[in-house]
Amino acid sequence: MSSPQTAVPPLVLVTGPEGLLAERAVAATLRELRELTPDVEVIRLTADGYEPGAVGMHAAPSLFGGDKAIVVQGLEEAGDELQADLLAYVAAPEPSVTLLVTHASGNRGKRVLDAMRKAKARVLDAPAVKTDRDKSDFATNEFRVARRKATPDAVRALVEAVGQDLRELASACQQLIADTEGVIDETVVLKYHGGKVEATGFRVADAAVAGNAGESLRLLRHAIAVGVDPVPIVAVLASQLRQLVRVGAAGRGRSADLARDLGMAPWQVDKARRSLGGWDGEALARSIQAVAAADQEVKGGGRDPVFAVERAILTICRERSGGGRG
């Protein structure tokens, strides 16, 4: 037959918790199949509500022939019936069928995973994208694939504005690619997402770490007014201060090398280095303690979460300007 297996193996396993990357891996595999067999039939099954025997029924040769792709989503939630059916199929796959299985995480379905790997399935990874470095790399790659150049400051601003959700970050990248021309810089990002950038805890923390109490409090009030919860703002304050400590302790070296060693993005290392002027270890320690106290209050330990954040910001700014020393 003019089999899709000439390019795609009969078994494909997509593993990892990042849903967007898993969907892209499945979609790319199906596109690859359709390039060789445009009329390949795609059957989608989910662990939730799976009917015993469905894998074998759909994999059985049709009276009219034709190639098939069976996509089984959510192996991590699979019951015993689905796992048994998949194990039976993997042991004796049909020549005209490509089986794609997705597994987010966990031990459930491990026997199927092991069986597919032993059968030399193609394994595609969908790793979690959590850190700012991961998100920056993701956004940079989105622009690179589209053959567009984006400056590090533009990527940073975009991650700060919409980086909480990978789908939103991907959508924002595609919007900038479609709606703009030339180099994508921070000015372009602010034109599209300026309100979100200003409302993030990152801008609040930037101003606080720089010792600008008035601007930091203004940005805090704006963020609260548009619905940003105090908890993530405090988390960003803590993260920024910890980054200063880590970069300060790392000493000299290329930003890229330090970023790799510290698990940060290069722009974060550069930013921390620029911010370190005016800080010493004791002031950073007192600021971190103030933020830890605010963290407890915004998570239920205090009666006024916003005031707790304001107090932490004022402490940071005072320490930055030297008012808390000596």
Distance CA 186, CA 151 (A): 7
Q: Which CATH architecture has domain 133-320?
A: Up-down Bundle (1.20)
Is residue 93 within 8 A of residue 61, CB to CB? The reply is no
Closest C-alpha to 98, from 31, 1, 3, 2: 3
Question: Which residue would you say has higher pLDDT here, 128 or 66?
Answer: 128
**Cβ-based neighbour number of residue 18 at 10 Å:** 19
pLDDT at 234 over 80: yes
Q: What is the CATH number of domain 4-125?
A: 3.40.50.300
**Average pLDDT of 248-271?**
86
Closest C-alpha to 192, from 168, 166, 209, 164: 168
For residue 326, what pLDDT is reported? 44
The number of residues making up the chain comes to: 326
Distance CA 289, CA 134 (A): 28
Is residue 254 within 8 A of residue 239, CB to CB? The reply is no
* Amino acid found at 9: P
**Average pLDDT of 206-223?**
92
Name the residue ranges covered by the structural domains of the chain.
4-125, 133-320
138-152, 234-248, 261-275: least confidently modelled range: 261-275
Q: What is the pLDDT of residues 290-325, one digit of tens each?
A: 999 999 999 887 689 999 999 999 999 999 977 555
Is residue 11 within 8 A of residue 45, CB to CB? The reply is no
For residue 1, what pLDDT is reported? 37
CA angle, 294 then 202 then 306, to 5°: 35
Question: Which residue would you say has higher pLDDT here, 101 or 5?
Answer: 101
For residue 267, what pLDDT is reported? 83
Is residue 185 within 8 A of residue 217, CB to CB? The reply is no
Q: What percent of the chain stands above pLDDT 90?
A: 67
pLDDT at 195 over 80: no
Tell me the pLDDT band of 4, cut-offs 50, 70 and 90: very low
pTM for this one? 0.72
Distance CA 191, CA 185 (A): 10
Tell me the pLDDT band of 3, cut-offs 50, 70 and 90: very low
For residue 323, what pLDDT is reported? 55
**Cβ-based neighbour number of residue 125 at 10 Å:** 12
